Amino acid sequence: MPAMNVSRSIQIKSDPQTVYRTFSDFGTWPDWSPWLLAEPQAEVNFSDRPDQVGGSYRWDGAVVGAGSMTHRQLNPPDAAGMASIQDELCFTRPWKSTSSVRFQLTPADAGQATDVRWEMNGKLPWFLFWMKSMMESLVGMDYDRGLRMAKALIETGSVDSETDVVGIEHLPHQRVVGLAAKTTLPNIGVSVSQTLTQTLKVFQEASLPCGGQWASVYHDLCLKTGRVSYTCGMIVSDTMETPSTLNQADLPGCEAMHVKHTGSYEFLGNAWFAAYQHLQAGKRKPNRKLSAWEVYEGDPAELAPEERITHVYIPVK
């Protein structure tokens, strides 16, 4: 069976003891888990002492599958502030597998911050050997999303991210005019925000109307390298004349999975994850010949991060 190893890190602006309490208590996981958000209705059960050795939580849902996580070893912060957590991850659906999961906490900034490393070592079922690189990339993105949400929860007390799976809709042809950009998946939120600001400036300088709907169209996405190319601009009419300096993206009429996200662009990956998970659970396949896209309600520059509403659309076959 092919081995799969994933490791991601983040720095959290809080002391090791506070960070340790969050990661060691399974009762906090629904607030920052990168998976449970895809199906809030899934059944989740905790053991009597979810923050102790032997403590666990279990989940069962039509979208997130079924499994459990159990604490096998807990090492609270020592005199130097070092701490670690060793867990056993077991999946029973959609396939059976067992993995070792580890959190390593290291003090930083004279104990005012904590470096967190989240690792997983496991094996894929033999029939998925050809997906090893892709699975490591996908799980790595999940870990990145989870760590960012845990960071927000610990530093601010909340996570500005809510997903609502609307379902599959039929959408008409649309034309998006804006600026082309390239980035990586971990930086997509920051990149889109910057490109939106740049595009708005170009529209204003060209005396173009800026009161329409802003959107980003994703042309190329490589899960292995994490590189993305996209066009960020405004949905305009087919007859509207625009400067040659702007890129044009045509979205043909199609059926698409629609997921609404409310909150910071930093957590938009949650909506994309939920969309793909629901497509898989519903046995629908993405139409990779067509570009997926996002539509932003209102003027992003005038909205607080927690007020921003984004609609994610993934074309389906």
Average pLDDT over residues 45-49: 96
- Please report, for the chain, the start and end positions of each structural domain, with discontinuous segments joined by +: 3-159, 167-315
Rounded CA-CA distance 249/232 in Å is: 9
* Cα 181 from Cα 232, distance rounded (Å): 8
Q: What is the pTM of this model?
A: 0.91
Q: What is the pLDDT of residues 250-281, one digit of tens each?
A: 999 999 999 999 999 889 999 999 999 999 99
pLDDT per residue over 163-185, tens digit each? 999 999 999 999 999 999 999 87
Where residue 282 falls among pLDDT bands split at 50, 70, 90?
Answer: very high
Mean pLDDT for the stretch of residues 80-98: 93
Write down the pLDDT at residue 94.
86
Lowest mean pLDDT among 77-86, 130-139, 218-227: 130-139
Q: Which residues 6+ apart lie within 8 Å of 244 measured at CB?
A: none
Overall average pLDDT of the 74-81 stretch: 96
Predicted confidence (pLDDT) at residue 135 exceeds the cutoff of 80: no
At residue 211, the pLDDT reads 81
Residue 134 has pLDDT above 90, yes or no: no
3-159 and 167-315: same fold?
no
Q: pLDDT band at residue 302, thresholds of 50, 70 and 90?
A: confident
pLDDT of residue 185: 79
Rounded-to-integer distance, Cα 29 and Cα 280, Å: 24
3-159: CATH architecture: 2-Layer Sandwich (3.30)
Q: Which residues contact 101 (CB under 8 A, 6 or more apart)?
A: 69, 86, 87, 88, 89, 118, 119, 120
Query: What region does 65 belong to: left with phi over 0, alpha with psi -120 to 50, or beta?
Result: left
The pLDDT of residue 152: 97
Poorest-pLDDT segment among 12-26, 63-77, 130-144: 130-144
Which residue bears the tokens 């702007």? 246
Please name the CATH architecture into which domain 167-315 falls: Alpha-Beta Barrel (3.20)
